[in-house]
Structure 1
Amino acid sequence: MSETDPRDIPALDLDHLAGVTYSAVFSDVCDRLGFRDQTAEPGIVPLAGRGTVVGWARTARSRPVDRAPERPYGAEIDFLDSLRPGDVAVVDCSERPAAAWGELFSTASVGRGARGALVDGYIRDRAKIDALGFPVLGRGCRPTDSLGRVSIQAVDVGIRFGGVRVSAGDLVVADADGVTVVPRAIVREAVALAVEKAGLEDGARDLLLAGGRMADVWERYRVL
């Protein structure tokens, strides 16, 4: 049973946010708001797709099993079929003996309108996922099938993902730098501050490219 309703989320222009913000600016904003441990540890990197992933966390906890379930892939099928536009699958498979994500999972996610997948574990079918253009971050690749090795045990519950707490409905921002998790309680304030800060950094960048001094840029924009 889920601990929160992941559908009860603010309306945001996720495409716009993905175009103008990124994980580092949201990390800085979370710091400013007193949430200083909101980034996943190093090692979770882009494996397929391009650009910044911004969307609402749909969490799943996957654990090792010693036999295939009576309904093969049943929990995974139910999870994928529950995805909706704007969702990002966030899967804890940190005891990762096998691939927890692959091409058909990604294809189903695209069809459901999901924006990406974050896997604390392994994936497979990397080239096919990349050709699909679906953004997936994880710890690496392994061709070993998950059936009878790992299985989703719970969905829409609090998980630890790369050392950071993630709840269903949190805003996740992921790119080449890694993953930032914005708690749902501060999403509106964090988004406003992130858009503002990204704009200031654009101005600072322009001034630096024009030969401006770092000291002057700092005094004017207060960003680094």
Structure 2
Amino acid sequence: MATGSVLTEIPNAVSRELESFKTPARKDVSPVPKIGDRAPPSSNLFLTQPKPTIIVFLRHCGCPFAEKTFRLFTKFSNHHPEIHCIAVSHSSQADTDKWITEVGGEWEVDVIADPDRELYSAWGLGLSSTWHALNPWSLYSAYRLGKDEGIWNTPTSSGTRWQTSGAFAVDAQGFVRYAEIAKSADFVPDFKEILKTLEAEKKGMS
């Protein structure tokens, strides 16, 4: 890369990082779906029947915990073709596509870009607090993730650091069977636990 391009990119990256700290416009957020509720209807999130579905709502592209979550999810999807796996990003489509390539590809995960955060709101995921995003434990967890696994925070192209993440599982009939909302920024879903929940539900129906 030419020196001029580097000098131009540095302030652009700083500007994008600062933009990610701005509080976005608040949206009307629906209640979090309860276990046993019908999954919220959506025109762009398709639940593949008769498969159960796991839906993961990510933090911004560039967040190390989003990267850790997505890497685990893609590996999970490759080993469990009987489950429909969906990841939702609130970064732009272009930035989401670029980030997915950088973190290893989508494997068997369907990825939906939701920059207007309509899906997040429909599933009860609103904006978080400063403590949620920047508490000492989450910051230390980010440091450990970088040191131990080489997953560091990377420049944010779009999206907001204040968006709450979460994970849901929906059975083959379209009912919510698992719901977990991030209590802090370092949230990473336990996919083994989600799988156990779906398997227990399936056995209970047989």
Give your verdict on TM over 0.5.
no
Q: Which has the higher strand share?
A: 1
Structure number, greater radius of gyration: 1
Q: Which has the higher helix share?
A: 2
